[in-house]
Structure 1
Amino acid sequence: MKHILFDFDGTLADSAHLHMQAWNALADRYKFKPVTIEDLHSTRNLTIQQRAKLYNFPMHKLPVILPKIYQHFKENIGEVKLFEGIKEMLDALSSQGYIVGIVSSNAKENIEILLKQEQIDSVSQVLSSSKIFGKDAVIKKFMKQHNLVPNQILYVGDEVRDIIACNKVAVPFMWVSWGLDGYELIEKEKPKYVIHSPEELIDILS
């Protein structure tokens, strides 16, 4: 296993507050309910569909809403930081010979801006999925591009949609506990690894 692919929001980037700002700025216009930080914590074990119902959000509006959220992200990217220990973890992986990439539904431009902002040069490739549930297709394309089989890759993420995408293409998944989704959602999909800090990832791979 030499290729490590990371989710971005909630895994590398501490960006929940910015996505929440964007969501709430759009809530009145599109007639869905605003959220608070407390809501993010209390709904960790609800699926995306359950959260959408709770906040009166019609899922068919995702293609309209997501670009607006990512535009807000770009305009306010100076407010986003990596989680503590992430830069050191990425540098350590690179120094140990791992090839590090990012597969995210956030815009590639946003991710590259933040990497530059945080002086990260250990990420070799950034891939963006145009669909929130389309990461399996992007991972499959990545494997084909680099002539890899699934067990040569590890995907690291925080959401159940990440592990479902990985299970579709048989790629091992590592769940990080500091992100959006709770363990009750994740455990049903049987992640290969569960970690609670960036240092734990290094320990496991070492």
Structure 2
Amino acid sequence: MPVRARRYELVVFDLDGTLVDSFDFFVQAHNRLAPKHRLRPIAPHEAAAWRHCPPREIMALVGLARWRLPWVARDFVRLMRDTGGGLRLFPGTDQALRHLHAQGLRLAVVSSNSTDNCRRLLGPELCQRMACIDGGASLFGKRTRLQRVLRRLHVPPHQAIYVGDQLTDADAARAAGLAFGAVSWGYGAPSALARAHPQWWFNAVEELSWLAGSGIPRDAAMLRG
């Protein structure tokens, strides 16, 4: 029997790896920037295995000190702006977002990508459905951006969820008092994200629409609480 499980007024999404299929671009951009920033390149056979590693471990493997992260992130954002014209939303993402919006949920994006890149990748129609798009967050600084979005939209933390694909997203959600929903198709592998004990699991893009609370099977694997 289906249950109604709508719990949230606001659904906040990460962008890269959650809404936008950009992992391959990330690996290519990293290797392009590696000589400039004296980083170790990512070999093709390593990319899939590194999805099981938390971001801090990946930074250590490539030789990226945390204090240098803003400069590398700036160049990554610039490369996406200049050469990322082929990037697309994961198939079905636009339909899921439209469904959530039509059901009365407020939608937002908090991303380490730039606001301009977020808007370009989402497109004008989906941007109109977003209550807030907050880009340019540090990889480890999304907590303050989430809190800023909550204040701007006057939503208490317990009525919001952050949907993302990395352990840093889970840490930011927990620190800001939001629930966390983990997607299985992003940068972080499900086995890595399991360490964060997400309240929600999404194994397919169309399952995002279940956040509206209609037609969720009682035994749905993605629903943890």
Provide the residue aligned with 1:148 in structure 2.
155
Pick the aligned partner of 1:202 from 195, 198, 209.
209
Equivalent-residue separation in structure 1 for 2:117 and 2:103 (angstroms): 27
Residue type of the alignment partner of 2:192? L
Range 37-46 or range 18-27, more displaced: 37-46
Residue type of the alignment partner of 2:186? G
What displacement does 1:73 show?
Answer: 0.3
Question: Are residue 157 (structure 1) and residue 164 (structure 2) matched?
Answer: yes
Equivalent-residue separation in structure 2 for 1:203 and 1:49 (angstroms): 32
Question: Are residue 106 (structure 1) and residue 113 (structure 2) matched?
Answer: yes
Provide the residue aligned with 2:122 in structure 1.
115
**Matches of residues 16-27 of structure 1 in structure 2 within 5 Å?**
16-27=23-34
* Residue pair 1:17, 1:37 contacting (<8 A) in 2 also: no
Provide the residue aligned with 1:125 in structure 2.
132
| Aligned Cα root-mean-square deviation (Å) | 1.6
Deviations 1:168-196 (A, max 9, x none): 12201100000011223322221100111
Provide the residue aligned with 2:217 in structure 1.
none
Equivalent-residue separation in structure 2 for 1:95 and 1:45 (angstroms): 35
* Residue pair 1:77, 1:110 contacting (<8 A) in 2 also: no
SS in 1 for 2:210: helix
What displacement does 1:22 show?
Answer: 1.8
Provide the residue aligned with 1:186 in structure 2.
193
Number of residues of Structure 1 aligned to a counterpart in Structure 2: 205
Deviations 1:100-150 (A, max 9, x none): 110001000111111227x42422320124321111111111122222211
Deviations 1:40-61 (A, max 9, x none): 2101221222112222222321
Equivalent-residue separation in structure 2 for 1:108 and 1:58 (angstroms): 25
Provide the residue aligned with 1:77 in structure 2.
84
Residue type of the alignment partner of 1:5? V
Question: Are residue 137 (structure 1) and residue 144 (structure 2) matched?
Answer: yes
Provide the residue aligned with 1:44 in structure 2.
51
Q: What TM-score do you get using the length of structure 1 for normalisation? A: 0.93
* Residue pair 2:10, 2:160 contacting (<8 A) in 1 also: yes
Range 19-28 or range 83-92, more displaced: 19-28
Structure 2: segments with no counterpart, 5+ residues: 1-7, 215-225
* Residue pair 2:166, 2:187 contacting (<8 A) in 1 also: yes
Range 2-11 or range 19-28, more displaced: 19-28
Equivalent-residue separation in structure 1 for 2:10 and 2:45 (angstroms): 36
**Matches of residues 54-73 of structure 1 in structure 2 within 5 Å?**
54-73=61-80
Equivalent-residue separation in structure 1 for 2:26 and 2:189 (angstroms): 18
Pick the aligned partner of 1:9 from 9, 12, 16.
16
SS in 1 for 2:139: coil
What displacement does 1:17 show?
Answer: 1.9
Provide the residue aligned with 1:174 in structure 2.
181
Deviations 1:19-39 (A, max 9, x none): 222211111222211124542
Equivalent-residue separation in structure 2 for 1:130 and 1:150 (angstroms): 19
Provide the residue aligned with 2:104 in structure 1.
97
Structure 1: segments with no counterpart, 5+ residues: none
What displacement does 1:93 show?
Answer: 0.7
* Residue pair 1:174, 1:194 contacting (<8 A) in 2 also: yes
